[in-house]
Every structure is written in structure tokens, then in C-alpha cells.
Amino acid sequence: MSTHASDPLAALGSLPGVADAVDSVRKAVDRVYGHRVMRRRSNEISSEAALRGARGSAALSGADWALEEVRRRTDFGADPEARTVGAALRLGSEAGQLLSIWRQSPLRVLARLHLVAAGEPGESVGRPRLDGETVDEPLIAAPAPSPSEVAGRLDGLAELIVAGGEAPALVTAAVVHGELLALRPFTSCNGLVARAAERIVLVGSGLDPKAICPAEVGHAEQGRDAYLAAFEGYLSGTPDGVGGWIAHCGRSVELGVRESTAVCEALQRGAA
């Protein structure tokens, strides 16, 4: 994160477009939580949101499968795309189990997320990369920071999360997501882990306690080009760039809300 304010997360709330994005997200989330279907079938909405969120995250990592293919498949080890989809599905299932740990030990959670995403043990699995280890993250072209810089910035991010503060959930989630993409702390699966961590913040903060507003859906719907352009803004460290990234993440949450609202409507009509 390029800003060096004493309370950077709270300070980001004043960046261009951020207050409007936070307000718009809150209103959208409130609307879907008020849907009549949510009163009796929220578990179904949560399960469907997890599936669609995993599909969206996998698409951004290069495995753009149709939703029904993700729903139908049981073998996720056959090829690289299948492994990516399987990793996204495992992360979606695991994220909810880590909420209570996140605020006390975010680095432990990130290590666990990488282990889950990798799917099998290995020398570099479940820990930040070391000198000489390469990063397999083809979506992000920017040079990856050195392991020593990664360690320092991860510690700083963890301190901000543990300290808490007044920053809106959207701001914290966007910064966690952006910082993990920027650092690429692991040798693989960094995009998947970053989006899972964003989800943990949105759910654990109380903004989306039932996990029915999958931002991953919105990130995928806006497309990889828009995702990368917004991320470049985050990397720039400028007020407009960082504010634009947060607003992009906010729009992604709103699109996730729209997706779950459509699921609610389908259930109400008896069509799903």
C-alpha cells in the first residue's frame, strides 16, 4: 500500500469516489438482505453465492468455465484449468471457517488459504516465498516485490487488521485484496487467495455476515481488463488510482448483490 498515513485505512475513506462507493454498497447489501426469500432460505442463497463466487474467481485466474460446468464437475485435478476451479471452490468453502482467526492472526489465515488453494503439500506451500523462488501469477505483469519487502508489508497489513479501526469494510477489503495482488506473497494462487481474503473481510466485518454478496462475481463480470486497469491504479498509489480501485471493488460487490438478488427472485418463482 503506497500511502503512509498514520491510520491509512481510515484515511482512504476521503479519497475520490470512496464515500459514494461505500454508501452505494451498503444500500445494495441492505436491499438484498431485506428480500423476503432471505428470511427462510438464506442458507441456499449463501451456498449458491459461494459457488458463483468461486466460478468468478477462477475465471479471473484463467479458468472461465460456465456455471453449470462448475456445478456438474467432480474431478478437479485433470488439468490446470480444472485445478484452478477446484482451488477456488475449496477456498470458498474454507473462508467461512477462518473468520474468527482473521482478526487475531491474518498471516496464519493467509498461509492456510494458500495451503487450501494449492491442494497438496509442497516445499513452498503455506508460507511466503523465499529468495530465489519464482511467482506463478500470469494475470499480473507488474514485477513482484522481493521476499524481504513482502515480509515487511505483510507484517504492516497484519498490524492494521489486528488493530481494527474505523475504516468501512469495503475499504479494508479492497486494500487487503489490492495489497495481496501487489505483493504476490506466495509462489502460486495469489489472485485466488487475494479474492478469498477480500471475501473474509466483507463477511467478518458484518457487512455481509451471511456471505451472499460475492464480489468475485462482480470482478469477473466487469472483466479482466477492467480488473487489471483498476489494480494498476492501486499500484500507482495516487489518490485517484487507489480511490478508483476501491470503487471498482465496490461495484463488484454490487454486482454480486445483483446476482444473489436474481437467485432470490428465481427461488421465489419456484424456478430454482
Furthest CA-CA distance within the chain:
56
Mean pLDDT estimate for the chain: 93
121 vs 245 pLDDT, higher one:
245
Cβ atoms of 70 and 220 closer than 8 Å: no
CB atoms within 10 A of CB 135: 18
| 26-53 pLDDT, tens digit each | 999 999 999 999 989 999 999 999 999 9
Q: What's the pLDDT score for residue 16?
A: 86
pLDDT band at residue 6 using 50, 70 and 90 as cut-offs: low
With beta carbons less than 8 A apart as the criterion, state whether 130 and 147 touch: yes
**Between residues 7 and 81, the one the model is more confident about:** 81
Q: What is the pTM of this model?
A: 0.94
User: Pseudo-torsion of CA 83, 84, 85, 88, nearest 10°?
Assistant: 120
Section 100-127 average pLDDT: 94
CA distances from residue 90 to 42, 87, 263 in whole angstroms, order as listed = 21, 5, 22
Residues near 186 by beta carbon (within 8 Å), at least 6 away in sequence: 114, 124, 127, 128, 129, 135, 193
Residues in the chain: 272
Q: How confident is the model at residue 2 (pLDDT cuts 50, 70, 90)?
A: very low
Q: What angle do CA 42, 251, 57 make, to 5 degrees?
A: 70
Q: Is the pLDDT of residue 272 over 50?
A: no
